[in-house]
Amino acid sequence: MTTDTIANVTLTTKANVYFEGKCVSHGFALPDGTKKSVGVVLPAELTFNTGAAEIMECVAGGCEYRLAGSNEWKQSGPGERFSIPANSSFNIRVREAYHYICHFG
């Protein structure tokens, strides 16, 4: 099941633009202070570093990802999630636009 809407949020209107526009996201906070972002990764192969632990939720499109220290590429499609530990990294390969929600924590 994919998340279609998120109610009652405080949205940061200025976009976060990474990798020369290949990834664009907007941060937001829930009433309880939980922080998340929603965005899209365009076709590319990129490496992201994490500060906090993250859960990537695919809401449309798809990707392949590889966590730091692993040689295995895994797929993620609509309704699927994958977790990245804090202070780590992951590679992502996108062939079609990958729409996501990033859950921090």
Q: How far apart are CA 54 and CA 64, in angstroms?
A: 16
Report all structural domains of the chain as residue ranges with CATH numbers, in order of start.
10-104 (2.60.120.10)
> What is the value of pTM for the model shown?
0.94
Q: What would the pLDDT profile of 34-59 be if each residue is shown by its tens digit?
A: 999 999 999 999 999 999 999 999 99
Non-local (6+) Cβ contacts of 62 within 8 A are 75, 76, 77, 78, 94, 95, 96, 98
Name the average pLDDT for the chain. 96
Q: Mean pLDDT per segment of 10 residues, for the chain of length 105 residues?
A: 91 96 97 96 98 97 98 97 98 98 94
